Amino acid sequence: MDRRCPGDTSRTVREVFAEEQPQLMALPDNPFAAEEKLAVSVDKTPFVRFDLNDYSVPHEYVRSKLLIVANEQQVRVLHEHKQVACHPRHYGKGEQIVQAEHHEALVNHKRQAKSHNGQHRLQAACPQTEVLLQQAVERGHPLATTVRLLLQSLDDYGSQAFCQAVVKALASDSPHANAVAQILQCEREKQHLPPPLTISINHPKAKLQVPTATLDRYRSLITEDEDSGEDE
């Protein structure tokens, strides 16, 4: 401000500005919104990318088109003029900024989807399973645990035996997965059959390694036989 004015070197910039200031218009009451806007498309994961970083959004906006409005302090995400997410702006590179409520909602959604798929499979094998599940929930049995145990019985005994056991459990007013498993076990014992053995080779904790056999030992035996034959 104390340097010489380029247009009038006899005065400083401060002096010229003080002279011109009364002629300047007042600033508006509403500050100018200096924000950057960017239209983005959400992929199959609930994140939007802005300035080399990924910001989480609610999972229901997957495969949607959103609008990012960012300033120096925060990154807001809008859907049809409605704010769906707001994050503090990060200036790193390759960071993933996740809100806890977005993560929890996604985990719950995946659990419900998994349980829903299991129910479809049970109902396809035995339509009466829908009634059993409804009665089990009404009596306070956890739905996810009941579905998991019923799927195990279905895999162990097959759809025909499983469906017969479900019908018997309903007839005896025992809408529970353990009742179905007990009926299946009793029917199998009546037929003098061994208990089912389920082997899951695709379990994530199962690390099966089949070593490649070496034939060197067999080659040595063949060589010894040939040598003994020559001696004779």
Helical pair 143-157 and 100-125, crossing angle rounded to 10 deg: 40
Backbone phi, psi, residue 39, to 5°: -80, 130
Report which DSSP code applies to 184. H
Closest by Cα among 83, 98, 99, 84 to 53: 98
- Give the pLDDT of residue 10: 92
For the chain, the distance separating the N- and C-terminal CA atoms, rounded to the nearest angstrom, is 114
Q: What is the pLDDT of residues 19-49, one digit of tens each?
A: 999 999 888 888 777 889 999 999 888 999 9
pTM of the model: 0.43
Of 34-48, 165-179, 180-194, minimum mean pLDDT range: 180-194
- Give the pLDDT of residue 193: 76
- Give the pLDDT of residue 206: 53
Confidence band, pLDDT 50/70/90 cuts, at residue 198: low
Confidence band, pLDDT 50/70/90 cuts, at residue 194: confident
pLDDT > 90: percent of the chain: 40
Between residues 19 and 144, the one the model is more confident about? 19
Average pLDDT over residues 207-214: 64
